[in-house]
Structure 1
Amino acid sequence: MAQHNAFYAQSGGVTAVINASACGVIETCRRHSDKIGKVYAGHNGIIGALTEDLIDVSQESDDTIAALRHTPGGAFGSCRYKLKDIETHRAQYERLIEVFKAHDIRYFFYNGGGDSADTCLKVSQLSEKMGYPLTAIHVPKTVDNDLPITDNSPGFGSVAKYIATSTQEAALDVASMCATSTQVFVLEVMGRHAGWIAAASALAGNGEGEPPHMVIFPELAFQRAQVMQRVDESVKKYGYCVIVVSEGAHYEDGTFLADAGNTDAFGHRQLGGVAPTLAGMIKQDLGYKYHWAVADYLQRAARHLASKTDVEQAYAVGQKAVELALDGKNAMMPTIKRVSDTPYEWRIEAAPLAEVANKEKFMPREYIREDGFGITEAGRRYLSPLIQGEDFPPFENGLPKVAKLDKVKVARKLPTFEL
């Protein structure tokens, strides 16, 4: 088998463990140096491929690549850039193939969520039409846990662990001060359409009166009067109320509580902060003292509190991506198959990208409590294994030690391309 080069890129919002997947891809490529020559990474994701802005990963030491496993962020740079429709903007896709040809790239590993799965599939289809032998494998990643087929998405378990922990810690703070200070605490978490992260907060409590007292999911329409009634009941009964709300909470007509009126690069509505919006409602309707917080980037960057399960799975899908490519599989995505809940066991399988691209997985109704404000035992059985285990990074001078890459650039061979 002739030796050819590989290309790896990161896409969309990063996670605490996306670099663990990068580590899995790169280390596995190095173990198969008889078939895979150099590994190039796109600087700032797919934009790096379009602009021929490539990083020569072969210049990084083995120790540096190993350190990616405990480094948060996107080590090679990510981007929110959605390729246009292939029929009307064919030039973009043809440019990718031209860059791959110029650098003898025959393996394409794209690490991202649903939109990147679609891009990976389209690149695979076009390369086939153009007669260029490219093997395209999607490496799953998303904190939202909304990719289909796979039992869970790498990146989610660590966010779930962080949010459950933060809910528990903040609740203890509020409980200790509620007699004279804050009575209602609202924590906003990520999740535009799928409430998996909000659901994970419920792992912090599992009994009468244990916070969070309310979880507000984007899968169910927001009913203001009902929510206010529950807040009032909680404060009167327990002295305080802890609420975790998904950023995608919306009214019956689909309008987001915190619609900012703008859209992002992918055409998604920009959300302007549901936590202060909800807190304002509580102040207006009930008059309780409140405090709110937005987990924002902290929840997806918290590698110091990553789930060991998540780290291992993130590495495993990166490794499997390379193995699939070397086995001649194309337009596929490694998936996580749950074998059992207790003890928790899993294995890596694979699914065709045609069954993954542009599809979202939402919280099943059987995971949401009948009253709509918490999780069921079935939901707890699903979520609990994903936050298990600690995988602390090494520390230096009191802070986590992270990988520092040289990011040596590859000489350009093609004319400049305008995005």
Structure 2
Amino acid sequence: MSTRARKTAPTGTLLYAQSGGVTAVINATASAVIETARARKVRVLAARNGILGALREELIDTGKESAAAIRALAHTPGGAFGSCRVKLKSLEEDRAKYERLLEVFRAHDVRYFLYNGGNDSADTALKVSRLAAEFDYPLTCIGVPKTVDNDLAVTDCCPGFGSAAKYTAVSVREAALDVAAMADTSTKVFVYEAMGRHAGWLAAAAGLAGQSLDDAPHIILFPERVYDEAAFFAKVKATVERVGYCVVVASEGIRSADGGFVADAGAGKDSFGHTQLGGVASHLAGRVKDALGYKVHWTLPDYLQRSARHLASKTDLEQALAVGRKAVEFALAGMNSVMPVIVRTADAPYRWKIEAAPLTKVANHEKTMPASFIRKDGFGITPAARRYLEPLVRGEAPPPFGRDGLPKYVVLKNQAVRKRLPDWIG
């Protein structure tokens, strides 16, 4: 990792790209990147639909956007420039694609590449950096953290998670009040499906909705623990008999003892090579109804978890902005192959800072829930988990609302720059 600072004024163009599933605050990071670069007189291009835009030379001139529009990105959900689920393979297997990226970078004088995503994106940024060094092309690559699943290594937490966690905890608390009101003559069991393929961070966040064992959620199913159907049924039955109803939060990635996903959508693999999941809540609801005879309702919030900007965490927003600013500062300082990560310095009062971590320590490493965060019975969170999670959902950062009662979000012009290379066929 090279951290030698440049002594001259920055030259060249900065290319920013978004990757993977977007979050409620990824555009806040984009806003901070563009504003920070503008203050340093650095031109910023954005790749349309992530790495595909770079390969296709579909680059957006962010200089065509007003300062007000860029500021408004900070309160707008989605991915303003488009994202994609495309993972480049090794330098050997996908060499033609990596070399095409360098051709595009050369054609547009791109000297700084900021890739805003998760584990796979950090890996791509690292590989692009290595190829640029092989060709002696002056390129600084920065991985910018983003993931709803909170599974990035090194960083204490990940921008995007805090807002999704807040939405999850609030939704579970509100739904539980609904279930409690109707439990005597209607629904006895409610199942909420949370995102989380291998790490149960979002499912754990639901635990913030209650304080005692009789508060919802009464049961949390984590992918870090083997799903035991008999134990689950027994817990549901005991809870209904004691409380009158039972609220269950299940991570989409829970597995049975044989290692298979409890809910496999049967749709094969996605473009990242991951098993396509979905339907764990409906599966559990059906099994509970058949085995215990209770009336059951279930929900799959899916995209709602990551797009709910109206309920964003202020902490999450501040951290999303901070990593964007630092990403540009690191890039202009010549700190190649690093990621700005969040370092927690205190729990109470909550304190944090941004430091640089080598991409080699982030790429393709996955952070799962510590065993100390999961209750001994496997169905809830511990005080340690609560201490970790609570600061991440604190504070409100609502978007401005219009006279129609709806949030005022921005849609950018996304004006493309002129292509300088032959079309890419890939």
Q: Partner residue of 1:68?
A: 73
1:294 partner amino acid? L
Alpha-carbon distance in structure 1 between the residues aligned to 2:284 and 2:363 = 34
1:19-418 to structure 2, matched below 5 A, reads 19-33=27-41, 36=42, 38-261=43-266, 262-396=268-402, 397-418=404-425
Alpha-carbon distance in structure 2 between the residues aligned to 1:3 and 1:358 = 31
- Secondary structure of 1:395's counterpart equals coil
- Secondary structure of 1:107's counterpart equals strand
Deviations 1:258-287 (A, max 9, x none): 112311001100113100001111011101
Deviations 1:176-232 (A, max 9, x none): 000000000000010000000000000000113101000000000000000000000
Structure 1 residue 129 displacement after superposition: 0.2
- Secondary structure of 1:176's counterpart equals helix
TM-score when scaled to structure 1? 0.99
Alpha-carbon distance in structure 1 between the residues aligned to 2:278 and 2:150 = 22
- Misfit runs of 4+, over 2 Å: none
Alpha-carbon distance in structure 1 between the residues aligned to 2:376 and 2:94 = 47
1:355 partner amino acid? K
Deviations 1:128-151 (A, max 9, x none): 001100000010000000001000
Alpha-carbon distance in structure 1 between the residues aligned to 2:208 and 2:413 = 40
Alpha-carbon distance in structure 1 between the residues aligned to 2:376 and 2:33 = 42
1:223 partner amino acid? D
Q: Partner residue of 2:24?
A: 16
Structure 1 residue 295 displacement after superposition: 1.2
Structure 1 residue 116 displacement after superposition: 0.3
Alpha-carbon distance in structure 2 between the residues aligned to 1:355 and 1:47 = 25
2:321 partner amino acid? Y
Deviations 1:28-82 (A, max 9, x none): 001101xx2x210000001000000000001101000000000000000000011
1:13 partner amino acid? G
- Secondary structure of 2:298's counterpart equals strand
Alpha-carbon distance in structure 1 between the residues aligned to 2:173 and 2:375 = 20
Range with greater deviation from structure 2 (221-230 or 270-279) = 270-279
Range with greater deviation from structure 2 (266-275 or 377-386) = 266-275
2:422 partner amino acid? P
Structure 1 residue 349 displacement after superposition: 0.6
- Secondary structure of 1:399's counterpart equals coil
2:196 partner amino acid? G
Q: Partner residue of 2:4?
A: none
Range with greater deviation from structure 2 (134-143 or 1-10) = 1-10
Structure 1 residue 3 displacement after superposition: 2.2
- Alignment RMSD, CA only? 0.7
Structure 1 residue 253 displacement after superposition: 1.7
1:347 partner amino acid? K
Alpha-carbon distance in structure 2 between the residues aligned to 1:258 and 1:326 = 45
Alpha-carbon distance in structure 2 between the residues aligned to 1:208 and 1:366 = 18
Deviations 1:73-127 (A, max 9, x none): 0000000011122112201000000000000010000000000000000000000
TM-score when scaled to structure 2? 0.97
Alpha-carbon distance in structure 2 between the residues aligned to 1:311 and 1:374 = 27
- Give ranges in structure 1 of 5+ residues lacking alignment: none
- Secondary structure of 2:303's counterpart equals helix
